[in-house]
Amino acid sequence: DGGITQSPKYLFRKEGQNVTLSCEQNLNHDAMYWYRQDPGQGLRLIYYSQIVNDFQKGDIAEGYSVSREKKESFPLTVTSAQKNPTAFYLCASSFTPTGSNQPQHFGDGTRLSIL
Amino acid sequence: SQQGEEDPQALSIQEGENATMNCSYKTSINNLQWYRQNSGRGLVHLILIRSNEREKHSGRLRVTLDTSKKSSSLLITASRAADTASYFCATDRMRDAGGTSYGKLTFGQGTILTVHP
């Protein structure tokens, strides 16, 4: 089955700790995205990558970092600099960067909480 | 800032009724997309409508787009309890007059739809 796998489903962070959220896709998509969703809110873009070894900041990149060393993988690190990390994190991918009229496909999210 | 503003924020209807959700946006777009999210899950793509299209259908879903008013609507006909979810519009904004995309979507705040059996 093709799709996007996010892990873990639930994650707890201690003060001062960096944590990494995993996102893997086997859809052969070029573009990948990370979003943050707070309760009752829409999605806000953290980082996105249109091609391997390249990524751009989204609207709320501060306190987060990413890498795109493989086409299939786009891990997100929530650093200790992110003071309010409690949220639902969603990873998505699309066949080509949006603008070629392609939809985004989403994983089932990781819920991050502070201990 | 959010490009899309959705209306209403919440909608409660009975099974069999139609549900209409609206989305307004501020800048020129290449396309507008509607997504559905069940509680605690990821988003699922429903329909994409291009800027040169006015209406699209998919099963019980009907989407309209009015670029002169910068607005779109999603109609779900003959709703079912299983349609209970949050619905989001997302825009692929145009960077310039040539239609270049920013390469990313901007999501609205969503409409929470509850369909009572």
What digits encode the pLDDT tens for the residues A5-58? Answer: 999 999 998 888 999 999 999 999 999 999 999 988 889 999 999 999 999 999
* Percent residues over pLDDT 70 in chain A: 96
Residue ranges of chain B whose pLDDT lies below 50: 1-2
| Nearest one of A104, A53, A75 to B31, comparing CA atoms | A104
* Percent residues over pLDDT 90 in chain A: 79
| Nearest one of B105, B103, B87 to B43, comparing CA atoms | B87
> Do A109 and A5 meet the contact criterion of CB atoms below 8 Å apart?
no
Residue window 45-104, chain B: list those with CB within 8 Å of chain A: 45, 48, 50, 88, 90, 92, 100-104
- The whole-number pLDDT of residue B3 equals 59
Query: What are A65's strand-pairing partners?
Result: A77
B100 residue type, one letter:
T
The answer on pLDDT for A83 being more than 70 is yes
- The whole-number pLDDT of residue B95 equals 78
Nearest Cα of chain A lies from the Cα of B72 at a distance, in angstroms, of 17
Chain A residues in contact with B100 by the CB 8 A cut-off are 99
- The whole-number pLDDT of residue A55 equals 96
> Residue B107 and residue A31: Cβ atoms within 8 Å?
no
Q: Which residue in A58, A90, A102 is closest to B43 by CB distance?
A: A90
Best of A57, A101, A102 to disrupt the B interface by mutation (most B CBs within 10 Å)?
Answer: A101
- The whole-number pLDDT of residue A1 equals 62
B3 touches chain A (CB under 8 A): no
Q: Give the angle A78-A26-B57 at the CA atoms, nearest 5°.
A: 100
